[in-house]
Amino acid sequence: MRRLSSFVTVFALLAAVLSAQEVFTPGNGVSLPTVVNQVRPNYTEAAKAARTEGDVVMQAVVLADGTIGDVTVTKSLDSVNGLDEQAVAALKQWQFKPGTKDGEPVAVQINVQMRFTLK
C-alpha cells in the first residue's frame, strides 16, 4: 500500500508540473515574447571552408521566466559542419520578456530564423 501511495504522490506532482508548463501559441489573448538579449551564432571553421551560407529555422519555447526551453530545427542548413548546432546553442542563450496571457507570463512557442552569411 505504501508503494501505491508513493506512486500516486509522484504522479500527482508530475501532473502538476506538466500542467504548469502548458505552452501557448501567440494570438487569442496570448502575446509574443520580446527579445531582450540576442546572441549571434558562431561560424564553424568547417562551414567557412565549405562556404556554407543560408538560414537555420527553429521552433522554440520561450518559458515564463524569459529563457528558452525546447528547441527544434525545422529547416536545417548544415548538420554536417555544425551550423545547425551553433544556431541552437546561440538561441538557448537568448533572453526574452516573456509572452503573457491574461496579464500573466506564460510559455509561448515561437519560430526563429538565423542567417549565416560569409563576408
Q: What is the DSSP string of the chain?
A: -HHHHHHHHHHHHHHHHHHHT-EE-SBTTBPPPEEEE--PPPPPHHHHHTT--EEEEEEEEE-TTS-EEEEEEEE-S-TTTTHHHHHHHHHTT-EEEPPEETTEE-EEEEEEEEEE---
What pLDDT was estimated at residue 65?
97
In a domain, 7, yes or no: no
Q: How many domains does the chain have?
A: 1
In a domain, 37, yes or no: yes
In a domain, 87, yes or no: yes
In a domain, 81, yes or no: yes
Provide the domain limits for residue 88: 23-116
pTM: 0.80
In a domain, 11, yes or no: no
Q: Tens of pLDDT along 39-64?
A: 999 999 999 999 999 999 999 999 99
In a domain, 71, yes or no: yes
Find the CATH number of the domain harbouring 31. Answer: 3.30.2420.10
